[in-house]
Amino acid sequence: MLSISNLLFESIPEHPDTIIIQNEFYPNGLTQKHIYDYYIKNKKKILEQVKDRDVMIVLATDLNKFVIKRKETNGYIKLNSENYDNFLSGRTVTIYSTMNQQEDFGIVDIDYHDFNQAKNATIEIYDLLYKQNKKLKIKYTGKNSFHILYFFDQKIDINSIRKKLEDLLLNLADKKYSINSTRSEEKINLDLSPNKFRGGFISLYSLSILGLKCVEVSRKQIASFNKSDAKI
């Protein structure tokens, strides 16, 4: 297994044919070259998502084994057009954005282990929130869950956003959901934990540790959406 320090600044894959992700979606495996080429191709779109944000980077140290890099020696990681390529080694799997102190949106994370039930819950919660606010988006996170993005008219303190969303969900959602609680096998949790200063959330267009893309999904698409739709 490789160390983080050996991975972080290898800007070109030294072993491009090395498989780092292998699962039901990629039975033949995703190689360092696959991952590297994806992030080079989508550089502009990803930089737009992480602009002026601290980020966290998930690195593959071995096949389906990952570690998270939260900081550099001189502080939190920020990506820009000058340093972006330096962070790509073919083992840079996931790029997490983090919340600033003030934002114009909050995140409701539909947190559950069953993908189909998570889809149904996303539809239900989206429809409930839509009655209050038409400024909503849905993101598939690349694993089992979905994020509903709830937009405000102006930037406000991130802690106020979390409180506003919690109060709203307590009023709208019935007892079949837990709200901002710990993950449970029995009940779908509406997780609000990303809504804090430097709270992490997967960046749009990033890959998850399954090698699936974080993508925006419309309300009309979600019922028929499958995980395999997010393959690279």
Domains and CATH numbers, the chain: 4-98 (no CATH), 102-199+213-230 (3.90.920.10)
**Torsions phi, psi of 78, nearest 5?**
-125, 135
Q: Residue 109 has what pLDDT?
A: 97
Q: Residue 172 has what pLDDT?
A: 86
Q: Residue 11 has what pLDDT?
A: 56
Q: What distance in Å separates the CA atoms of residue 81 and residue 83, rounded to the nearest whole number?
A: 6
Q: Quick check: 57 and 86 in contact, CB under 8 A?
A: no
Q: Residue 2 has what pLDDT?
A: 47
**Torsions phi, psi of 65, nearest 5?**
-125, 135
Residues in the chain with pLDDT values less than 50 = 1-10
Q: Residue 3 has what pLDDT?
A: 47
**Which residue bears the tokens 């997780």?**
191
Q: What distance in Å separates the CA atoms of residue 69 and residue 59, rounded to the nearest whole number?
A: 7
pTM of the model: 0.92
The answer for residues whose C-beta is within 8 angstroms of residue 226's C-beta and 6 or more apart is: none
Task: Give how far Cα 112 sits from Cα of 125, 148, 186, Å.
Answer: 14, 14, 9
Task: Give how far Cα 201 sits from Cα of 15, 78, 134, 197, 232, Å.
Answer: 29, 15, 22, 12, 20
Q: Residue 217 has what pLDDT?
A: 98
